[in-house]
Structure 1
């Protein structure tokens, strides 16, 4: 029995070493990349804040975060726009193929440029965990839905796998599409944070959800094609991205239905 326990431990050690050693050597020394431990700590810290935050705020007044939200959201617009440009420029200059693009693991300037912008894409998902913190501090607990928590908590792992193993190649497409969508999304949040005077111009909120659904359709189609194509890109990554995009599609469709279609039917009935 003891020997079996030792063997299991050795297997776990070998698995962990494999995770560390089989990654992209160029990004190994970059912040939060080498080991899954830091990002796992961030994940569990996030869950702890989700559990404890609403309890701590239950007897407190909501915090006025208007200046913080304005700065934060427009800063995220700038970061998303920067990443959109870098993904586009890096892929264009490197003559990327949209249908099949292996990862360039060399130290060429363009390959490193693509890897660097993907690291920023990964790190932006860590920054975006602040969205949840702001909901808690403002006592907007109704916004802490399963969709919100699932999306934020899993994206950090999804993007960590990207920067650890495939910092480039056709993975750029996901970063590009998502960054472009986030320019629009955080622009909306930034304008909404300015106050009621701007609210009448924000009739296009529902179309953000539609835009997000469209991005999942593009990502699913792109990765599915590559999954069955003869391309020097890991099938495991494509399969993971397809499964993940489908899960988000289902959750966002459910959100869209209950937020807009179901409510519209109720209003007509009333």
Structure 2
């Protein structure tokens, strides 16, 4: 309890009035409930039920996150990155100036957006896409909001907020893509840049790690929480490795790409192989909730599956 009180007492007093910031218990409880639902309760509830379509809900959800991400990027820029920051050693402004308080506010909003994004996985469960809930997906959606809660509590601003601004910029593009994908096959022709989504993610992690690396080569830097920079550097590097592995599996080895439909057989039926299974007489394959649809940043699906006859390799 003494350690707990010491940790919480060290919080920036400007952040404590914000929702869910007075104690780590509610935040940790939300994440534990999330893990319990997506890994156990949700699949069990859906086991004997038909998958929900949720098309309209997903379209609204994705485009709301696009708007929210644009707002977060704008607020980060106006709070320092486009006004007073040097993009090198930028300490946290601990004053109560309007710009400093604006940075505190957008830092909290960025963290809260990660709580909203837990719905990504909930949609997969309700749509019975359980096979697409990978380690990378779960780790990214649970680990980031937990660590950023502490980051916001101690260091709301300064050079440690760079990765939050970059991440929100990427999410503008990412959720715009998912919104179009959720709208159905008629928008598939506008999604030719699917492959580049992972490339954008990899570029993000390179920029984040490089920015944090500057600190190690500076003779002097007054940034108040170097531990945050160490964690950001490790985070960027670790996720670069994970997303690189996904890129190799999906676009080099082709293990996550839909297969071409085979020519018609002599008896007039069609046959194709997808995910190691055989399709006959136009039957659509679904195994473990997977289908040949649009690829999520971490190997999950967030859209409608195209017709079998239109399946193409990325």
**How far does residue 228 in structure 1 lie from its aligned partner after superposition?**
4.1
| Contact map agreement 1:94 1:110 (CA 8 A) in 2 | no
RCO comparison, higher one (Cα < 8 Å, 6+): 1
Q: TM-score, normalised by structure 2?
A: 0.79
Q: 1:104 to 1:94 in 2, by over 3 A?
A: farther
**Deviation readout 1:195-219 (Å, 9 max, x if unpaired):** 0000122111111111111110011
Q: Quick one: which of 52, 58, 61 aligns to 2:50?
A: 61
| Contact map agreement 1:98 1:170 (CA 8 A) in 2 | yes
Q: Quick one: which of 44, 47, 50 aligns to 2:35?
A: 47
Give the number of equivalent residue pairs.
257
Q: 1:72 to 1:116 in 2, by over 3 A?
A: same
C-alpha separation between the residues in 1 aligned to 2:79 and 2:232? 22
User: Which protein is richer in helix relative to its size?
Assistant: 1
Is 1:245 the counterpart of 2:269? The answer is no
Q: Quick one: which of 250, 253, 261 aligns to 1:259?
A: 250
C-alpha separation between the residues in 1 aligned to 2:82 and 2:170? 23
C-alpha separation between the residues in 2 aligned to 1:144 and 1:61? 18
Q: TM-score, normalised by structure 1?
A: 0.91
Within 5 Å, which residues of 2 pair with 1:226-245? 226-229=215-218, 230-233=220-223, 234-245=225-236
C-alpha separation between the residues in 1 aligned to 2:161 and 2:152? 11
**Which residue is equivalent to 1:196?**
185
Within 5 Å, which residues of 2 pair with 1:51-130? 51-92=40-81, 94-130=83-119
Higher deviation after alignment, 78-87 or 90-99: 90-99
Q: Secondary structure at the match of 2:156?
A: coil
**How far does residue 92 in structure 1 lie from its aligned partner after superposition?**
4.4
- Unaligned ranges ≥5, structure 2: 261-272, 274-314
**Which residue is equivalent to 1:35?**
23
**How far does residue 156 in structure 1 lie from its aligned partner after superposition?**
0.5
| Contact map agreement 2:88 2:211 (CA 8 A) in 1 | yes
| Contact map agreement 1:77 1:183 (CA 8 A) in 2 | yes
**Which residue is equivalent to 1:25?**
13
**Deviation readout 1:208-237 (Å, 9 max, x if unpaired):** 111111110011111121244221222211
| Contact map agreement 1:227 1:235 (CA 8 A) in 2 | no
**How far does residue 182 in structure 1 lie from its aligned partner after superposition?**
0.1
C-alpha separation between the residues in 2 aligned to 1:112 and 1:125? 21
**Deviation readout 1:26-72 (Å, 9 max, x if unpaired):** 00111111211111101110111022111211110010200100000
C-alpha separation between the residues in 1 aligned to 2:216 and 2:151? 16
Alpha-carbon RMSD: 1.8
**Which residue is equivalent to 1:9?**
none
Q: Secondary structure at the match of 2:18?
A: coil
| Contact map agreement 2:77 2:83 (CA 8 A) in 1 | no
C-alpha separation between the residues in 1 aligned to 2:55 and 2:154? 39
Higher deviation after alignment, 179-188 or 230-239: 230-239
The structure having more radius of gyration, on CA atoms, is 2
C-alpha separation between the residues in 1 aligned to 2:20 and 2:238? 26
**How far does residue 170 in structure 1 lie from its aligned partner after superposition?**
0.8
C-alpha separation between the residues in 1 aligned to 2:24 and 2:179? 32
- Unaligned ranges ≥5, structure 1: 1-12
**How far does residue 158 in structure 1 lie from its aligned partner after superposition?**
2.2
